[in-house]
A and B are shown apart, each in its own frame.
Chain A
Amino acid sequence: MTGGEALAYPVRFAGDTLTLNEAAPGFSDEQLGKARAGEAAALASLIQAHQRSVYSLALRMLGTRDLAEDLTQDVFMQLSSNLKSIESNTHLKFWLRKVTSHRAIDQLRRRARIETMPLDEEITPSSTVDHGDPLLQRHLRLLLLNLSPPARAVLLLRYQEDLDPIDIAKTLDMPINTVKSHLKRSLEILRQETPNPAPVRCEGKST
């Protein structure tokens, strides 16, 4: 049995009012139309535009690159079968996040605790911008893996995908109060488990 059986249906959209981020840069509604019509180049652009979000969500939910790649592939294969029902780029993003989150949670519920490898193999674009302490960031990502699957999904949708609690509730089919409870409790746990950076001391050293 694969994790996909519980989700072999088109994701409801029905014109819900969503406040999601707009389309990934470089991917327009026009290209979506072409992808729906079966144009290969447009389909490739769709995957390139959205795979980072899907893959990152899968990776941080499941903890290993192999599982994340499998899930990412499953999601896009399922999307390919359901493209006709996708109405807009907003709907597409909603669909991808929803299906990825639900499938990851399904997988985690079916498995015993997965032995996760540290996420050293994450590929990040080289950048001269200082994004902070990489060790602390790695520590936070590992702490995330200790949260329950629903709590983890809530946190990722909030801080990776930048969704507000209402949109998270819609994406995960979760009552809004449960979303807020997960956010509050998970942040408390992360705060308790995250060391404060020690003040930097300058000591004279002879070389």
Chain B
Amino acid sequence: MNEKLESRLRAALRPVAPRDEFTRDLIARVAADRRSSFDARSAHGRRPRARGWWLSAGMAASLLVAAGIQHRLQERHERERGLEARREVIEALRVTSQKLNLVYEVIKNQSSSPADDKPGV
């Protein structure tokens, strides 16, 4: 039953195109923006790939020699864990700041209309 709903969702959510006129305007605006802020230094070499790939590639080479493919898998697992922990931190701080924001709103409203909100400090 889920599969039927999922296929209906996919059909309902096929990407759609904006108006042609919008596309033309968009291209013109972005091109104008690029022209005005074009930086000659963009001609310099490509930015080196992230260090993480170097470490993985280097480690993979030496570990293959030492038959250490297991170590590479473990490293990848730890990286995923670290990224997931980072996402959880961001989410936790987002929730916290959202609630703090509600408190600040009450305090702000208190100064304008004391009847509705009641902060106590």
Q: Do chains A and B touch in the complex (CB under 8 A)?
A: yes
Q: Does A1 contact B (CB under 8 A)?
A: no
Identify which of A44, A47, A159, A170 contacts B10 (C-beta below 8 A): A159
**What is the distance, in angstroms, from B31's C-beta to the closest C-beta of chain A?**
5
Q: Does B105 contact A (CB under 8 A)?
A: no
Known contacts A16-B83, A175-B87, A176-B84; is A140 also within 8 Å of B12 by CB? yes
Q: Does A40 contact B (CB under 8 A)?
A: yes
Q: How many residues of B contact A (CB 8 A)?
A: 43
Which residues of chain A have C-beta atoms less than 8 A from B90's C-beta? 173
Cβ-defined contact, B34 with A55, below 8 A: no
Cβ-defined contact, A173 with B16, below 8 A: no
In residues 6-30 of chain B, which contact A (Cβ within 8 Å)?
6, 8-19, 22-23, 26-27, 29-30
Q: Does B78 contact A (CB under 8 A)?
A: no
Cβ-defined contact, B91 with A76, below 8 A: no
Q: Does A52 contact B (CB under 8 A)?
A: yes
Interface size on A, as a range, is 35 or more
Cβ-defined contact, A73 with B29, below 8 A: yes
Q: Does B2 contact A (CB under 8 A)?
A: yes
Cβ-defined contact, A175 with B16, below 8 A: no
Which residues of chain B have C-beta atoms less than 8 A from A169's C-beta? 84, 87
Binds A, one of B43-51, B60-68, B106-114: B43-51
Cβ-defined contact, B87 with A52, below 8 A: no
Identify which of B12, B23, B35, B76 contacts A137 (C-beta below 8 A): B12
Q: How far is the CA of A125 from the CA of B8 in the complex (A)?
A: 18
In residues 86-144 of chain A, which contact B (Cβ within 8 Å)?
87, 122-125, 131-132, 136-138, 140-141
Cβ-defined contact, B91 with A87, below 8 A: no
Residue of chain B at shortest CB distance from A53? B15
Cβ-defined contact, A87 with B12, below 8 A: no
Q: Does A194 contact B (CB under 8 A)?
A: yes
Cβ-defined contact, B1 with A191, below 8 A: yes
Q: How far is the CA of A190 from the CA of B8 in the complex (A)?
A: 11
B residues adjacent to A (C-beta < 8 A): 1-2, 5-6, 8-19, 22-23, 26-27, 29-31, 33-35, 37-39, 42-43, 47, 49-50, 52-53, 76, 83-84, 87-88, 90-91
A residues adjacent to B (C-beta < 8 A): 13-17, 36-38, 40, 43-44, 47-48, 51-53, 55-56, 59-60, 65, 68-69, 72-73, 76-77, 80-81, 84-85, 87, 122-125, 131-132, 136-138, 140-141, 155-156, 159-160, 162, 169-170, 173-176, 178, 187, 190-191, 194
Known: A124-B16, A140-B13. 7 other contacts (CB 8 A): A38-B38, A43-B31, A123-B19, A141-B12, A159-B9, A175-B87, A187-B6
